[in-house]
């Protein structure tokens, strides 16, 4: 049966742990896996700009022995031809698709119509590859996930949604602080609370960054204005002004608090240079781990099933 990677909520805890364990092996010895996806071709369809997602997937498939094809505005998903026709055509040519798009339904429909695995490279609703890599990074740095307090400060966006799913499944206590009106979607919060009830994690959603930062092991932020929201940037800069990750906020957390940001960063807005470049920052370790975790995902989805 074909498997896709659309949302962390679709993965079992054992599947997540398998991906993490494989990512550790890939990070330690990439040469050992250099032919595991030999002859496989991955198609990247991106409607949004990308540095980390594009490069990590392209480098990842090549390091595993396969090839990548990158399509940007060329095919105009759902406009030049029906999405189902595109899905069925690509299923005859390539072995997997990564879609980075605006409407989440594009990813869902593509996966429903394709006979090959589809990976959500980002939608306006979710960013599962990012959040899974982030949680892998937390485990790598702290040696565990259960009982860790992750404070997310900023916009209740796609990254926040995927972190809620992943943290709640894996037992990470997650506290989210956003301005009023910018909270994560209630439906996703409710689903995360159901996962948390099983894992023992706690979930807090409020509008007070100082409260969520207090005693945190991790402080995480993202841009205040996501792609597609550029017209709102000046308004958002005013609304989010008190949600900046700066030295004062960091001082409320644990002494060895780790600072995370999924990048790209708008330095001087959601995070200061002082914090971004501090010894507490693991921002670029996060970025690196996108490569290793996504290679593990590719092997799990595109590897020969025995």
Give the DSSP per-residue string, 192-222: HHHHHHHHT--EEEES-HHHHHTT-SEEEE-
Q: Is residue 273 annotated as part of the catalytic site, yes or no?
A: no
Q: Is residue 54 annotated as part of the catalytic site, yes or no?
A: no
Q: Is residue 100 annotated as part of the catalytic site, yes or no?
A: yes
Q: Is residue 290 annotated as part of the catalytic site, yes or no?
A: yes
| Annotated catalytic residue within 54, 100, 104, 161 | 100
| Annotated catalytic residue within 52, 161, 290, 292 | 290
| Annotated catalytic residue within 130, 244, 286, 294 | 130
Long-range contacts of 100-108 (CB under 8 A, 24+ apart): 100/44, 100/45, 100/46, 100/47, 100/48, 100/50, 100/53, 100/54, 101/45, 101/47, 101/48, 101/77, 102/47, 102/48, 102/228, 106/77, 106/78, 107/6, 108/6
Treating both helix axes as pointing N-terminal to C-terminal, what angle do 158-170 and 186-199 enclose, rounded to 10 degrees? 20
| Annotated catalytic residue within 47, 244, 262, 294 | 262
How crowded is residue 179: how many other Cβ atoms within 10 Å of its Cβ?
19
| Annotated catalytic residue within 95, 222, 286, 292 | 222
Look at phi and psi of residue 204 and say left if phi exceeds 0, alpha if psi is from -120 to 50, else beta: beta
Q: Is residue 134 annotated as part of the catalytic site, yes or no?
A: no
Q: Is residue 38 annotated as part of the catalytic site, yes or no?
A: no
| Annotated catalytic residue within 52, 54, 104, 127 | 127
Treating both helix axes as pointing N-terminal to C-terminal, what angle do 52-63 and 283-302 enclose, rounded to 10 degrees? 50
**Residues annotated as part of the active site:** 100, 127, 130, 222, 262, 290
């Amino acid at each position: 049966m074909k498997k896709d990677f659309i949302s962390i909520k679709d993965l079992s805890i054992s599947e997540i742990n398998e991906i993490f364990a494989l990512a550790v092996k890939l990070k330690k010895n990439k040469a050992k896996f250099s032919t595991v996806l030999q002859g496989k071709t991955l198609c990247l369809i991106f409607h949004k700009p990308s540095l980390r997602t594009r490069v990590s997937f392209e480098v990842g498939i090549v390091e595993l022995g396969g090839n990548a094809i990158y399509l940007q505005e060329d095919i105009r998903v759902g406009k030049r031809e029906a999405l189902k026709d595109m899905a069925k055509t690509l299923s005859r040519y390539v072995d997997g698709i990564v879609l980075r798009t605006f409407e989440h339904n594009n990813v869902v429909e593509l996966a429903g119509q394709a006979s090959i695995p589809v990976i959500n490279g980002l939608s306006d609703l979710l960013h599962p590859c990012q959040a899974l890599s982030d949680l892998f990074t937390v485990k790598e740095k702290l040696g565990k996930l259960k009982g860790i307090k992750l404070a997310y400060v900023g916009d209740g966006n796609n990254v926040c949604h995927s972190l809620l799913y992943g943290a709640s499944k894996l037992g990470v206590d997650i506290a989210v602080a956003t301005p009023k009106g910018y909270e994560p979607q209630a439906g996703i919060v409710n689903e995360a609370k159901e996962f948390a009830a099983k894992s023992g994690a706690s979930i807090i959603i409020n509008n007070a960054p100082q409260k969520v930062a207090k005693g945190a092991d991790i402080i995480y932020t993202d841009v205040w204005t996501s792609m597609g929201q550029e017209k709102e940037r000046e308004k958002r800069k005013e609304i989010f002004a008190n949600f900046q990750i700066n030295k004062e906020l960091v001082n409320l957390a644990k002494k060895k608090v780790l600072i995370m940001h999924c990048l790209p960063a708008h330095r001087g807005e959601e995070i200061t240079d002082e914090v971004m470049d501090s010894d507490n920052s693991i921002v670029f370790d996060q970025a690196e781990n996108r490569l290793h975790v996504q290679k593990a995902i590719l092997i799990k989805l595109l590897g020969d099933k025995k």
